[in-house]
Structure 1
């Protein structure tokens, strides 16, 4: 009964002193411990997200990774598509070449993911799943040992405070139990403290993992970019070689170089079609064509097709396509650089001086522009020969077509340009058409490439092969005066070039449907064709 009573007294004392907990870690170690748990959670989250970015999977070799990559599947699809289409077409050729590049990029990506897994993922996983959990486990072990020590210590104090004779013989075992518990606490505490300090000292190394991630990504993108830059010249070369760039809206020199032509395809094609079916069509270049037919013809010419038979029966669509091509050139056929010279040449009141100045300016045109201008002027002169039927005199042709041949670089819309320069353009283009064989005495074969049906209109001959190359009205070395050449194209046989400048010309251009309203007020009582706008 006495023993039970003494034991009850000891347990009561232990219960009373249980709240006295021994704290064995210093404040700085407690701060490291608290921060370590946050690091573990953050590292685990980053590791999880980074694993989801690994498109080739984790824990596999390079070859297996490559097969899992979406980019490798894309490469295979492109190469299969290229094989089925063949290398004759541009699409098949480009799919095969670009598919091979995609394969190279997939290989780079697989190697990149392998590097990320080795240098970043594995260390992060080791930190979040092994190193920090082991330290935290050791911290829990220390807490248990401290609790055991506190209990042994409490029991010892309780027994010591009891003065009964029965408890006096048990103080030594209780003290030995307390000392042993304290020794275990000290050993665990030293080990935990070392691990915590070691963790704190290695925080810079842990932070390095994220820097290594960016470095690996930068290296991967550099290698990928280098592969692309190495491949792009060859791809661009094939693209330029096989691509048929649209003619409309492309600079004349670029189009001629790309197609290896001397005369632009839209100009030759439209001229050949008009020579066949449009020379006696009234109001050619003036009457607007159907929008759908014009759009279809322009698309066909952009594809460089020679199968244009269906358009022969619609000369107005053909004329509209020719006007549209000239208007859409980035630089007018008669060039920006010579604009002022053309205008100055047209300002001469003396017809002979004006013609000579126009000829001089014409001779200064770039060869590509001059060749196409000569070709077009020769055709327009041929068209004017039938002006009694088609009503398209040199003056009328100059009015409707001139603004598409020459405009100022500084001016805005086509309508503004036409309103500002219409009179100048007419006085420039009209005499060139009137005296086409004087400006360009050499013959012109309209079917330059031979890709069109043989025209019933052969090359234009020089009507006066023995004519000296002098401007009209000039005086020869023998003192004889050469009279100005008779205009073979004007429907007004008595209207001289100087008189034609007396015409008051007004033009209002509607760009949307290409319709043009033109009025002419002769200064003399001369016959004038009925020249009204299309409805």
Structure 2
């Protein structure tokens, strides 16, 4: 599997992987790793992760979308990789077409359930998969300090945005984190993206800055919080996500 997955529509990625799953394999690998790790790391999905490590992981999955995560990789970095992947896709999982409908339905579980049925199957199943993982994370909030509201704040800008939106500061930050060098790196050599970075660039515990003057999309946050808290009654017709 020698095709890129970052910056590629989820449906195209799933079609090319031919894995029998309706979810990109990178998300499956990351979720399995996090569940096995126990989901107890403080500020999981809020801590930024190491830029150098993230770029290494991006290169890994752009070269082999079915690769296993390297031994010893931090759950914080794996969680950040999920966010970076979602930030990279050209259209959100919820699609541009359903942006207004979803926000208008954010107080109704039944309405959200019916609207989500309009999604392409890959989008629907991937959204179900991601929010199922977030539900499990929220159940460990006493340990990881990430309840459903905090998770929704982190993920809303990555799952719901309008067409023509130039990008929230969070999405732009994540895209900058993964910005490749001007020239394509020759993967047949030992030179990699990190050779262009200093060790000082790595900060695995800092928080992603969110205050650059862009107001939060509170409606989108409410939608994602509802999808997390009421995941099971909303995604009743999806195959139950089975974790390793």
Pairwise TM-score range, normalised by the shorter structure: 0.7 to 0.9
User: What is the deviation of 1:357?
Assistant: 1.7
Match of 2:241 among 425, 444, 465: 444
Query: What aligned pairs does 1:63-78 form with structure 2 within 5 A after superposition?
Result: none
> Given the superposition, is the C-alpha separation of residues 325 and 422 from structure 1 closer, same or farther in structure 2, using an over 3 Å criterion?
same
Asked whether the 8 Å contact 2:110–2:234 carries over to 1, the reply is: no
Match of 2:159 in 1: 405
1:381 Cα offset (Å): 0.8
Pairing partner for 1:340 from 82, 93, 100: 100
Superposed CA offset, 1:126-173 (max 9, x none):
xxxxxxxxxxxxxxxxxxxxxxxxxxxxxxxxxxxxxxxxxxxxxxxx
| CA pair 400-278 structure 1, distance change in 2 beyond 3 A | farther
Q: 1:320 aligns with which of 61, 69, 80?
A: 80
Q: CA contact under 8 A between 2:57 and 2:81: conserved in structure 1?
A: yes
Q: 1:413 to 1:378 in 2, by over 3 A?
A: closer
Counterpart in 2 of 1:394?
Answer: 148
In the comparison of the two structures, how many residue pairs are matched?
198
Counterpart CA distance in 2 for 1:278 and 1:328 is 27
| Cα distance change on mapping 1:432 and 1:413 into 2, 3 Å | closer
Distance in 2 (alpha carbons) for counterparts of 1:325 and 1:389: 25
Are 2:41 and 1:281 equivalent residues in the alignment?
Answer: yes
Is the CA contact (8 Å cut-off) linking 2:43 and 2:146 kept in structure 1?
Answer: yes
Structure 1 residue 373 and structure 2 residue 133: aligned? no
Kept in 2: contact 1:278–1:284 (CA 8 A): no
Q: How far apart, CA to CA, are the structure 1 residues paired with 2:120 and 2:68?
A: 31
- What is the aligned partner in structure 1 of residue 193 from structure 2? none
Q: What does residue range 226-237 of structure 1 map to in structure 2 within 5 Å?
A: none
Q: 2:113·2:235 contact (CA, 8 Å) conserved in 1?
A: no
Which residue of 1 is the match for residue 222 of structure 2? 427
Structure 1, residues 474-512: CA drift from partner, whole Å, max 9, x if none? xxxxxxxxxxxxxxxxxxxxxxxxxxxxxxxxxxxxxxx
- Describe how 1:201-350 pairs up with structure 2 within 5 A: 244-261=2-19, 262-277=22-37, 279-304=39-64, 305-312=66-73, 314-346=74-106
Q: Is the 8 A contact 1:311 1:318 kept in 2?
A: no
User: Do the aligned residues in 1 keep the contact of 2:30 with 2:69 (CA within 8 Å)?
Assistant: no
Match of 1:310, SS state, is coil
8 Å contact kept, 2:29–2:68: no
2:105/2:111 contact within 8 Å kept:
yes
Do the aligned residues in 2 keep the contact of 1:289 with 1:316 (CA within 8 Å)? yes
Summarize the Cα distance change of 1:339–1:420 in structure 2 as closer, same or farther, 3 Å threshold: farther
3-state secondary structure, aligned to 1:285: coil
Counterpart contact for 2:137–2:146, Cα < 8 Å = yes
SS in structure 1 of the partner of residue 136 of structure 2: helix
How far did residue 286 of structure 1 move?
A: 0.5
Matches of 1:248 and 1:364 in 2, distance apart?
Answer: 25
Q: After superposition, where does 1:170-181 map in structure 2 within 5 Å? A: none
Cα offset, 1:420, TM superposition? 4.6
The 3 A distance-change label for structure 1 pair 278 and 325 is: farther
The structure with the larger Rg is 1
Higher share of residues assigned helix: 1
Instruction: Give 5+ residue unaligned stretches, structure 1.
Output: 1-242, 447-454, 456-535
In structure 1, the residue corresponding to 2:71 is in which secondary structure?
helix
Which protein has greater RCO, CA pairs closer than 8 Å, 6+ apart? 2
Give the TM-score normalised by the residue count of structure 2: 0.76
Over 4 Å off, 4+ runs: none
Unaligned runs of 5+ in 2: 172-209
Cα pair 1:265 1:301 within 8 Å, conserved: no
> SS state of the match for residue 286, structure 1?
coil
